A = this chain, B = another copy of it.
């Protein structure tokens, strides 16, 4: 595996691989790898000739009050993990070369980016789409891999790729969970033992919702109440409960198609998200994301 730390060296590094019908798989990350990331790298390795993984803690997707400075950085450990999972080029550019002085351009997906996490994290998705556009132009991948835990992010990036006629495919892979049910996240390491117990309830709440939908419930307000009941603990501060169209993220009143159930909550100071797609045997109208 080659480690590339400079923006100027990534194109020559890519050119060292034989050109003919070279398929490039790309996994953009902020590092602090867990099994979710590793599953993306492994899948990319299976499906491509060259696998590029980027580690870049992107300042433009953090709001001023968020944890940009404290976001976990552990390049030495990540390096080993990426290598073992099949990464060919690990790309870790510095912030100054990605956003040089006078940097001035932003890519924005409207509508879906204003919902769910967009409400409590203004500017977040604009930062995500901007850095993805840049990285896609630098790496020129055939396929880019995202995890479904960040469902909204993956949907928005997919919208951007379609709208801007980018010549690449987005693949979204399943959420990887601990045995306890907690969805893997780089921020889980900040949970205290008692908070871990609370964190488990996010998945419990999703499963509860799925169970009552499968039993025939179609009224969204009753499903929301059931979720809220599971999460009703002093240590849990719900940001949103969204029962929405998987294609547009618009909230539903009645369940008349497959739905996305998405949650965000603060457990102490740690903001966690989780989601589940629940099928009700009705074909969705729009494009399916998963």
Q: Are A164 and B105 in contact (CB under 8 A)?
A: yes
Does A167 make an interface contact (CB < 8 A)? yes
CA A200 to CA B25, docked complex, whole Å: 56
Highest count of chain B CB atoms <10 Å: which of A106, A129, A138: A106
Is A159 positioned at the interface, with any CB of B under 8 Å from its CB?
yes
* A164 contacts across to B, CB distance below 8 A: 105, 107, 130, 133-134, 137
Task: Select one of B138, B140, B163, B166 contacting A104, CB under 8 A.
Answer: B163
Given A133-B164, A165-B138, A167-B137, A105-B105 contact (CB < 8 Å): no
Chain copies in the assembled complex? 2
A137 adjacent to B110 (CB under 8 Å) = no
Tell whether A40 is near chain B: CB-to-CB under 8 Å.
Answer: no
Binding site for B on A (CB under 8 A): 7, 102-112, 129-130, 133-134, 137-138, 140, 159-160, 163-167, 286
Given contacts A104-B159, A105-B110, 19 further A-B contacts (CB under 8 A): A7-B165, A103-B163, A104-B109, A104-B110, A104-B112, A105-B129, A105-B160, A105-B164, A106-B108, A106-B110, A107-B164, A108-B108, A134-B163, A134-B164, A134-B165, A137-B165, A137-B166, A137-B167, A140-B167
